[in-house]
Amino acid sequence: MIIVLRPDATSSQIDHIVEKTKEKGLTPFVTRGVERTIVGLIGDERILAAWDLENIPGVEKVLAVLKPFKLASLDFNPERTKIKIGRVIIGDTQVVVIAGPCAVESESQIIETAQKVKEAGAHMLRGGAFKPRTSPYSFQGLAEEGLKYLAKAREETGLPFVTEVMDTRDVALVNEYADVVQIGARNMQNFALLKEAGKYPRPVLLKRGLSNTMEELLMSAEYIMSEGNMQVMLCERGIRTFEKATRNTLDISAIPVLKDMTHLPIIVDPSHGGGKWKWVAPLSKAAIAAGCDGLIIEVHPNPEEAVSDGSQSLRPDKFQKVMEELKVIAEAIGRRL
């Protein structure tokens, strides 16, 4: 950590800073430049997380040298994490496709969809039993009933499933049913939920918040991991920008940049990323080409009648066509679907 002092910082202010940093167990070294004096600190700057250096008189700004996350860092663990779910391995050469409806609406709907996406080549099923909806007047999900239908669909098709949890009180329940527990974008910094999910064994699919940086995403992964659950996969699902032509702006650069920062696998959600079914194919191809480890795609047997996110859901026949296109891209970069 580097502390840049104000041009008018006094000697006694500098002495105070030097003393304080020593108290915290760090080794300070002072360098006087032409326009500014700086104090460098040797030691693990993360122990300063709770200490606001910028508030000390004479300080102009503080520059971090180290990243604030550890368990999630590629420096800390240079071997890439692989997550095994049944016969599926996420983070290996295969690009894993998770598909299904936004919300579980009925037993027949989810079973039918599961069969269709399996036929098309999907490796896992998705479906929401607890739905985060902007409006309290929108469909809120079937709760445990939905989880039961998902388990039924898994039984029928063999597809493991991922489903979202929104309430700390439901984490145990969702862990009982699901193969992977999803924490949604709106809960990316619901720290109580992150900690709770970290106490249970199921792998977690953690979605990036609408306006969260990659560093914050990794800090949230760190919350889960610091409770003991190391099986975290990160999901880029579009960020919020000024652009209005798409629901969100899919941050495709997050794939290589995160790969450079962390050993955790990266999943991309092209359905929320673009917000319209017709952008799913090009965005999925782009995501595979950029190196993602998996995709999570919304498929609905009858999008027009979907209770949520119908306009970004693919029909099963279109999904099948997309899968064929994706296979070619995966192979072109030496992976497989």
CA distances from 96 to 265, 277, 320 (A): 11, 19, 15
From the CB of 89, what's the least distance to a second copy, in Å? 22
Q: Which is nearer to a second copy, 209 or 316 (CB)?
A: 209
- Whether residue 2 contacts residue 40, with contact meaning beta carbons closer than 8 Å, is answered with yes
Q: Which is nearer to a second copy, 85 or 230 (CB)?
A: 230
Cα–Cα distance for residue pair 1/4, rounded to 1 Å = 10
The SS3 call for residue 7 is coil
Q: Which is nearer to a second copy, 27 or 108 (CB)?
A: 27
Of 251, 302, 293, 242, give the one whose Cα is nearest residue 272. 251
From the CB of 35, what's the least distance to a second copy, in Å? 6
Q: Which is nearer to a second copy, 152 or 302 (CB)?
A: 302
CA distances from 206 to 19, 115, 143, 216, 220 (A): 41, 26, 20, 12, 8
Cα–Cα distance for residue pair 237/235, rounded to 1 Å = 6
From the CB of 146, what's the least distance to a second copy, in Å? 15
**Quick one: which H or E segment has residue 207?**
strand 204-207
From the CB of 305, what's the least distance to a second copy, in Å? 8
From the CB of 238, what's the least distance to a second copy, in Å? 8
The amino acid at 43: G
From the CB of 67, what's the least distance to a second copy, in Å? 10
- Whether residue 88 contacts residue 157, with contact meaning beta carbons closer than 8 Å, is answered with no
Q: Which is nearer to a second copy, 51 or 158 (CB)?
A: 51
Q: Which is nearer to a second copy, 158 or 333 (CB)?
A: 333
Cβ atoms within 10 Å of 332's Cβ, excluding its own: 11
Which residues, listed in sequence order, are joined to residue 161 by a DSSP beta bridge?
A: 125
